[in-house]
Amino acid sequence: MQYVTLNNGLQMPQLGYGVWQVPEDEVTPAVAKALEVGFRSIDTAKVYANEHGVGEALANRNVPREELFITTKVWNSDQGYENTLKAFDASLEKLGLDYVDLYLIHWPTPEYDEYVETYKALEKLYNDGRVKAIGVCNFNIEHLQRLLDECDVVPAVNQVECHPFLQQNELKDFCNKNNIYLEAWSPLMQGGEVLRNDVVKGIAEQYGKTPAQVIIRWHLQSNTIVIPKSVTPSRIEENFDVFDFELSADDMEKMAGLDRGERKGPEPSEMNNR
């Protein structure tokens, strides 16, 4: 495993396991498999409706708690200072944990203009030692800048849609300048189109790896935290098997050439669902 050091000194696995869209009844064996393979970072959220199942897998683990890195998120309908504190308590209870390693705001939902107040609740949780680090998801530069201007704790992580067709270079540059790590959700792109791309397939053949492994490797070498999701045991193993090869500078350049700003998820400034 490779680790990154967040802006408060906390070590976070650079490769994690995401459980978005994994039903509650499937998530426990899936997380158990991920832990068995070697994943130590698990990313869930209230809105995924599977925190309890993740907690069951964690309760039956053979891994010390201090080796795990658990992330969850406050959903849009729970934003606001007091609501966020209550939502955190509920998530912690479902997970069966005393603390989480990373707590994130799921979307800025700018129409409601509550994300600064919500982030201040995250700061309280952080200052009280109930979370090891705090951050955000799906924040554009304007949203991040407002937190930097109005809050005290610089977000450790900004988790956003990121894959070879949406490389987020401008946002990543801003995050780098402000010591915020970019974390990629949907790193293999929803729909799998990027996995069928000729450039990606050609690079994969060259290394004797799969297109998914090449893309995960590209994320790692781009200094991005990455959380691929699968419930298929063989794919969970495949997604972890990315530490025995390295893409050349030429191949990294080829991957960089695939960026076309193609977003599959919502545009953060327009996503105000509750």
Per-residue pLDDT of the chain (274 residues; tens, 9 = 90+): 999 999 999 999 999 999 998 999 899 999 999 999 999 999 999 999 999 999 999 999 989 999 999 999 999 999 999 999 999 999 999 999 999 999 999 999 999 999 999 999 999 999 999 999 999 999 999 999 999 999 999 999 999 999 999 999 999 999 999 999 999 999 999 888 999 999 999 999 999 999 999 999 999 999 999 999 999 999 999 999 999 999 999 999 999 999 999 999 999 999 999 9
DSSP SS3 for 42: strand
- CB-count exposure of residue 13 (10 Å: 0-12, 13-18, 19+): buried
Q: pTM here?
A: 0.96
Q: CA-CA distance, 118 to 82, in Å (whole number)?
A: 8
Helix (H/G/I), strand (E/B), else coil: 163: strand
Q: What CA–CA distance (Å, rounded) separates 141 from 163? A: 18
Q: Please state, in angstroms and as integers, the Cα–Cα distance from residue 214 to each residue in 34, 105, 160, 239, 241, following that order.
A: 19, 30, 20, 10, 10
What is the pLDDT, as a whole number, of residue 65?
Answer: 96
Catalytic residues: 48
Instruction: Give dist(CA 151, CA 166) in Å, integer.
Output: 29
Question: What CA–CA distance (Å, rounded) separates 88 from 90?
Answer: 5
User: What DSSP designation does 71 have?
Assistant: E
b/e map 44-56, b = 16+ CB within 10 Å: bbbbbebbbbbbb
Please report the DSSP string for 183-235 in residue order: EEESTT-TTSGGGG-HHHHHHHHHHT--HHHHHHHHHHHTT-EE------HHH
Which residues, other chains included, contact 219 with Cβ-Cβ below 8 Å and sequence gap of 6+?
Answer: 162, 184, 187, 225, 226
> 44 pairs with which residues across the strands?
none
DSSP 80: S
**Residues ≥6 apart with Cβ < 8 Å to 149:** none
Place of tokens 């970019």: 182
Q: How many CA atoms lie within 13 A of 9 on its CB side?
A: 0
Amino acid of residue 271: M
Taking the CB of residue 261, how many other CB atoms lie within 10 A of it? 9
Give the model's pLDDT for residue 191.
85
Q: How far is it, in rounded angstroms, from Cα 8 to Cα 133?
A: 8
